[in-house]
Amino acid sequence: MQKLREEIIQTALKLFDAQGFHRVSVNQIVKEAGTSKGGFYHHFQSKDELLFVIHDTFITYVLKEAEAATETHHSPVEQIQEIIRSFVHVFDLYQSHITVFYQESNYVDETFEDEINRKRDQFKDKVIAVVKRGQEEGEFRHELPPEITGMAILGMVNWLNKWYRREGSHTIEEIAEVFTDLVLHFLLPGHGGVSGVEQSPPFFYGKK
């Protein structure tokens, strides 16, 4: 059953990307997926719910990873590094989901908007909370407004949706290193390191 659900999602992603959400019917999805309407409606109440699930898949991933980062690591520096790394990686892991959702987001049924916004706000609040804690513990610059700082981090990474390509000149791991380095340089006092926290030099250090 889980295999069929995933097959429906992958089929819908391809069709939505090629034709647009509003031009694709449930009949087309079940035909391409090699199933029946009964098989479709066993997993999804409607095409609108399917679009919601596409979004929920990747936002749930980044939210769980952020929660794991704050539970696993003690230092706010390590927490923000891990949050950024996993956030960047979602644009590779769920590239099709993200591309389709953002190009078809105008068609999201209002019945799902509250849940979408709730999880987005949870993730945003988690990032801002790590920034605030880092400031309180003296690891991050105290003069930076935490809300603006958190939104700057989210905005920078979210823009990957516009330009990241797997066949590009840099891997997703390298992009994560660059983003982490940028964030730490504007967060850490004096652009220096934090005592007790080991940081491996990013891949681009030492290049001319």
**Long-range contacts, stretch 139-144, CB < 8 angstroms, 24+ apart:** 139/75, 139/76, 139/77, 139/188, 139/194, 140/76, 140/77, 140/187, 140/188, 140/189, 141/186, 141/187, 141/188, 141/189, 144/186, 144/187
pLDDT of residue 104: 82
In 3D space, the residue among 199, 163, 181, 161 whose CA is nearest the CA of residue 78 turns out to be 199
User: How far, in Å, CA of 1 to CA of 108, rounded?
Assistant: 25
Give per-10-residue mean pLDDT for the chain (208 aa).
88 92 92 92 92 92 95 96 96 92 82 90 97 96 95 96 93 96 92 52 66
Q: Return the exposure string of 23-35: e unless at least 16 CB atoms fall within 10 Å of the residue's CB, then b.
A: ebebeebbebbeb
pLDDT of residue 198: 54
pLDDT of residue 109: 81
Residue 73 φ/ψ, nearest 5 degrees: -105, 140
Residue 33 φ/ψ, nearest 5 degrees: -80, -10
Alpha-carbon torsion (200, 203, 204, 205), positive or negative:
positive
pLDDT of residue 193: 47
Q: Which one-letter amino acid corresponds to residue 103?
A: Q
User: How far, in Å, CA of 152 to CA of 70, rounded?
Assistant: 20
User: How far, in Å, CA of 48 to CA of 43, rounded?
Assistant: 12
pLDDT of residue 1: 65
Q: How buried is 122 (Cβ within 10 angstroms: 0-12 exposed, 13-18 middle, 19+ buried)?
A: middle
pLDDT of residue 200: 67
pLDDT of residue 37: 92
Task: Give pTM, 2 decimals.
Answer: 0.84
pLDDT of residue 191: 54
